[in-house]
Structure 1
């Protein structure tokens, strides 16, 4: 399958380039696009892609590929809209967009939203075990803790190529456009703290929202949100689960913490399913599923199959065989709605203005 990459930054270089290089039986990269010609050339050279672009519109018009991987940062709504309108299948890294309106504007087409943790073998095994226990009805509590060091420390090993040649003022324009989208989501008068919370919810915590969506269904009620510490700081979110029980998420940005660590514990009447995720940029580092059962028996499940690689293979199967992805447009929209509920609850709790879609 011939593909084009949009965005040649950290995740592309550290994750997608090595994976696409070793899965050439599935993919041929024929074009790459980035605001930086330096990054487009660097990634294009590594993948042998003849097409190098700094403008998405031109790349889509020239074609020569079957599908597009949207890997740039920020909202992907408009770029995905253009790619779908041009007839291409799309794998879009999270978040799909920053507003409901962007999603509603998408034309019909083949769209998969990238939440690689849903494809982790340990997560799939936990889903199977949960189904055997009776599904969401069996859950008493889901408790999530994320210890998030700086991106620079997580990617120090990757020897990334840096962009130095983006047109002056273009990044400022893009930041202004993204801020306008956040205003549409939360209202023009939204406080900086509410905006920051929303950005973290859709930029990082959305992974945990996607897991909740798989395990229990998306929460329809958020009844407590708190933040503390120097930005991005710490965030606490809790509320009832759709079927029964409650969830809590505690996300901590710790600049110099030794290593990324994410724990998702699912407690039920007869034991616990605990997932411990490694740093997401370390290829083939296994997630550990610990199953606590009768007589406090502990069984560990580990599989070095790379979740990002499984996700890529699932996208190939979606485009070539029609196999439905784990998250499509509807799931991406659900996570946006949940993030808006989180922001709205925080604003109401602290007497801050909230408007836009979140109101």
Structure 2
């Protein structure tokens, strides 16, 4: 399947380039696009892509591919809209957008939102075990802990090509456009603390929201939100699950922490299912699933199959065979709504202004 990449930054270079290079049985990259001609050239060279672009509209008009993989930072709403309107299938990295309105503006089309943890073999195994136990109704609680070091430390091994050739005025205009979208989501008067919380919810915690959607469904209520420490600091979110039990997420930015670590534990009536995720940028580093059952029996399960690679294969199956993805536009929208509920709960609790869609 011929595809085009949009965004040639860290995740493209560290993850997608090596995976697409070894999955040439499924994909041929015919075009790449980035604001930086340097990055487009570097990634194009590594993948042997003849098309190198710095403007999305021109790439979409020239064509020569069947699908688009959106890897750029920030909101993807407008870029996805353009690609779907042009008739291309789209795999879009999270978040799909920053506002509900952007999702509502998307035309009909083949859209898959990339939450690679949903495709992790250990997560799929945990889903199977939970179903055997009785599904969401047996869950007592879901507890999440994320220890998040700096992105630079997580990507130190990757030897990334850096972009230094993008017009500063263009970057400033794009940042202003992103700020405007956040204002539409949270209101013009939303303070920096609420905006920062929303950014973390949609940029990182959304992975845990995507797992809640798989295990239990999205939370319909956020009971408590608190933050502390130097920005982006620590975040605590909790509330009831839609079927049974409650959830609690504790996310900590620890710049000099030795390594990324994410633990998701599902406690049920007869034991626990614990998932421990390594840094997402290391290929084929297995997630560990530990099953705790009666009699303190502990069983560990691992699979080195790369979640990002399974996700890419699922996108191929979606486009070519019509097999539905685990997350489409509706799931992406659910996570935006939950992130807005998180921001609103925090604002109300602290007497801060909240408006826009979150109101």
How would you bin the TM-score normalised by the shorter chain? over 0.9
Cα deviation 1:29-65 (Å, max 9, x = unaligned): 0000000000000000000000000000000000000
> 1:151, CA displacement in angstroms?
0.1
- The C-alpha deviation readout for 1:178-223, integer Å capped at 9, x for no partner, is 0000000000000110000000000000000000000000000001
Q: TM-score, normalised by structure 1?
A: 1.00
Task: Look up the match of 2:275.
Answer: 275
Q: 1:186 — aligned with what?
A: 186
Match of 1:148 in 2: 148
Matches within 5 A, 1:50-129: 50-129=50-129
CA RMSD of aligned residues (A): 0.3
| Structure-2 separation of matches of 1:12 and 1:152 | 15
For residues 65-108 of structure 1, the C-alpha deviation after alignment (integer angstroms, 9 at most, x for no partner) is 00000000000000000000000000000000000000000000
State the 1:294 CA deviation: 1.4
Work out whether 1:301 is the aligned partner of 2:310. no
Distance in 2 (alpha carbons) for counterparts of 1:300 and 1:8: 36
Which aligned runs of 4 or more in structure 1 are off by greater than 2 angstroms?
Answer: none
Gaps of 5+ in 1: none
Rounded Cα–Cα distance in structure 1 between residues aligned with 2:347 and 2:272: 34
Aligned residue for 1:312?
Answer: 312
CA distance in 2: counterparts of 1:295 and 1:191, whole angstroms:
50
Cα distance, 1:25 vs structure 2: 0.5
Q: 1:231 matched to which residue of 2?
A: 231
> Is residue 358 from structure 1 mapped to residue 358 from structure 2 by the alignment?
yes
Aligned residues: 359
1:4 pairs with 2:11: no
Per-residue CA distance 1:96-134 (angstroms, 9 max, x = gap) = 000000000000000000000000000000000000111
Deviations 1:127-166 (A, max 9, x none): 0000011100000000000000000000000000000100
**In structure 2, C-alpha distance between the alignment counterparts of 1:175 and 1:301, rounded to whole Å:** 43
Aligned-partner Cα distance in 2 for 1:222–1:342? 6
Structure 2 alignment gaps of length 5 or more: none
- Structure 2 match to 1:324: 324
Distance apart, 1:168 and its partner CA:
2.4
Kindly indicate whether residue 286 of structure 2 is the aligned counterpart of residue 286 of structure 1.
yes
Question: How far, CA to CA, are the matches of 1:236 and 1:214 in structure 2?
Answer: 21
* Shift in Å, 1:264: 0.1
Mapped partners of 1:181, 1:77: distance in 2:
10
Q: State the distance in 1 between where 2:273 and 2:174 align.
A: 42
Deviation (angstroms), 1:241: 0.5
CA distance in 2 between counterparts of 1:143 and 1:191 reads 29
